[in-house]
Structures are given as structure tokens and as C-alpha cells.
Amino acid sequence: MKTCRARLLVMVMVSLACGSLRAQVAGSPGTGRGLPETIDAIDSARVATRILYITAHPDDESGAVLTYLARGLHADVALLSLTRGEGGQNVLGPEQAPQLGLIRTQELLAATRGYGADFGYSKTPEETEKVWGDQVLDDMVYLIREFRPNIVINGWGGVHSGHGHHQASGILTPKAVQLAADESYKTKASCEDCGAWTTSQVLDIERGSEQPHGYILPLDEISSEYGRTWRQLGIDAFANHRTQGMTGVLGSIFLQRPVALHREDGQPFDPKSLAVDIAERFKGCTPIELADRDLESSREAVLQVAWKRAGEKISHAAALLGDAPKRRNVGRHRFRRRKRLGNNCSTGPRRVHESTELPL
């Protein structure tokens, strides 16, 4: 699984220390150290919502949706692909099976950098589940408990025909969410900080109709930082799936259709839940509220090209976030290490990354 975007305040400071931001025209997200990436990093540090998008293969994801959630709403978004796509086609060369899986994994990692945001094929979901066994479900539970998402997007929820992997992914996702919340269920892989975790909601995504049911995402709004729509930015990143011939179908009507989200349990969906500010999520936690104000001030300073003041505000915010918990819970994600805020100032998951993957 690839976490779509790191939010490390220290990395913002490194960018500011460079003296100037060279890019005068916004490039593609994740490809440079320009002003848009700096603003994006600061805005992302002020949002507490964590979203896990689950699908079956690389190239199954909606790049537009991931880009909007991660770069538009600044949520902490991760993409979990249940396979590496070893059974797919390869329009570029002779590689198949494990070799193709390695190539497609790199393609997915390149795509997720742009979003800001991871065996073969079968004919039926029953056959797929038999081939995958319980290990895939156990891995899903482990990663949900380790990542601790507020929201899980079931990329193939409600799909009951077609590709067996797609159907199985849609079936296994709610099972994994349920098991992750069950304290009696123990994963095969040990983890010092992977206790039961309850996800607040599971969302299905609908993108195959001109009139989808649910909340229609504003994917065609133009980003003030990048000067293009979230859909256009997502499609650009989606083009990294080159072995699947995606560069030849980027103009497909399918990629231009509206996309909607709705809750699997049928309850009303509140779009505001996709991006909850840290000041709201941790209301009453003084260090976090003060840190949020510092981050807001740092954003204003960056826009005024006041690098020193911006760096000072970000440094102070990082110190406040570090002082907020009385106890740190340190866990290890499969792709990056992070520190989590403790229980005293926590009403939900939040983390300060130690990763250096921020595209600045």
C-alpha cells in the first residue's frame, strides 16, 4: 500500500530554507518543489481526516477522486491495491507474472505521487477468494488497524458481475473493516500498536453512469495552486499505468463522467466528513489549536514570500504538535514510520510524519 502524500512540517522548513521557490508556473503535482507543493503541504497538515481507498489492481483506482481528496481537500489518503497486477496485459514489453508485477508496482507509485495520495486473474469471486485464501483478508485487517482510517472507500463495493478480483475486493473490504473493529480477532502478523480500530464509515464509489447516486464530487473545479481541474491532474497521474495502455484512453468518456460517493450502510453522507480540520477534530486541545493558528500564519507568510517568518511559524507548530501528547504511540507502517498523537489530545487519528516523501 502506498500512502499518497507525506505531511512533514520539517520538510516544509527544508523547502523554505532553500531561499526561493524556483517554479513560476505550476507543474504537475508531486514533480517539483514549487509554491503549490509548499502550500499543499501546509494545508494538509491542518486536516485530520484519514481515508483508505481499497481496490483490486493498479489502474482500478479513480485518479481524479484520489487527487481531489488528497490535494483538493488535503485529507491523508492511502491507496491499497490487493494485487500488484501480475496477471495484467503488457503493451510495452514481454514481461509477465512477477516481472510485470514489479513494473506495475512502480507505475502505481508514480501515479500516487501525482495524486498526492498497492497472481493471476480469475472468473468468479469464489475462485478468487479460494486462491487468495484468508491471508489477503488478514493483511487488510492488519493495514486498517495500522493506518487507522476514519473513512474506507470500497472501490468495488456493490459490484456483482465481471472480473472476479473486482467482486472479491468489494466483498472483502467490508469484512476487513468489521474484523478490524473486533477485539477478539488477532492478525497473523504481530504489531505492537495494532489494536482494534473502528472505521466511522465505508463509502462506495459510483463512476459508471452519467447520473450516479450519492454525493457527486466536484472534480471539475479548478485548483487555485495548479491552475487545472482535479480531474485533469488525476488523469495526468493515471497515465503512469503505461503497461496497461492508459495513455491511449485518456480521452475516454468513462474518465470524464461524474463520480459519486455514498455510504454502504444507507445512512446519509455528510461531505464535510471527508476533510475535518485539526482544530475541529481536537477541539479543546490547546497545543493543537495554537499549532493550527501557526500553520495558518505560515501559509500567509509563504504567499507573501516571507520565508523566514514562515519557517519560524512552522517550526513553532511542529514543537506544539510534539508537546501535545503526554504519551506517544509509535508504530510502523509498511511504507513509512510515523509518530501518533496520544490519547489526551486525540478524538481521532492524527500523525506527524517522519517521512521525507513530501514533494517539495
The tally of CA atoms less than 13 A away on the side-chain side of residue 265 is: 12
Judge residue 266's burial from the number of C-beta atoms within 10 Å of its C-beta, 0-12 exposed, 13-18 middle, 19 or more buried: exposed
Helix (H, G, I), strand (E, B) or coil at 96: coil
- How confident is the model at residue 194, as a pLDDT? 78
- Name the strand (E) or helix (H) holding 331: strand 329-332
Q: Of 133, 152, 131, 135, which is closest to residue 187 (Cα–Cα)?
A: 135
pLDDT tens by residue, 273-310: 999 999 999 999 999 999 999 999 999 999 999 999 99
Question: What domains, with CATH codes, occur in the chain?
Answer: 1-28+279-360 (no CATH), 47-276 (3.40.50.10320)
CB 323 within 8 A of CB 291: no
Grid cell of 222 as nine digits = 479548478
- How confident is the model at residue 150, as a pLDDT? 96
- How confident is the model at residue 75, as a pLDDT? 95
C-alpha distances (whole Å) from 164 to each of 125, 160, 209 are 4, 9, 21
- How confident is the model at residue 141, as a pLDDT? 92
Helix (H, G, I), strand (E, B) or coil at 114: helix
Q: Of 65, 352, 174, 112, which is closest to residue 182 (Cα–Cα)?
A: 174
pLDDT tens by residue, 137-181: 888 999 999 999 999 999 877 666 556 677 888 889 999 999 999
- How confident is the model at residue 162, as a pLDDT? 59
Q: Say how far apart CA 288 and CA 160 lie, in whole Å.
A: 45
Which residues, including other chains, have CB under 8 Å from residue 93's CB and lie 6 or more apart?
243
- How confident is the model at residue 101, as a pLDDT? 75
pLDDT tens by residue, 194-214: 789 999 999 999 987 888 989
Using only the alpha carbons of the chain, give its radius of gyration. 20
Collect the ranges in the chain with pLDDT lower than 50: 1-25, 118-124, 326-344, 347-360
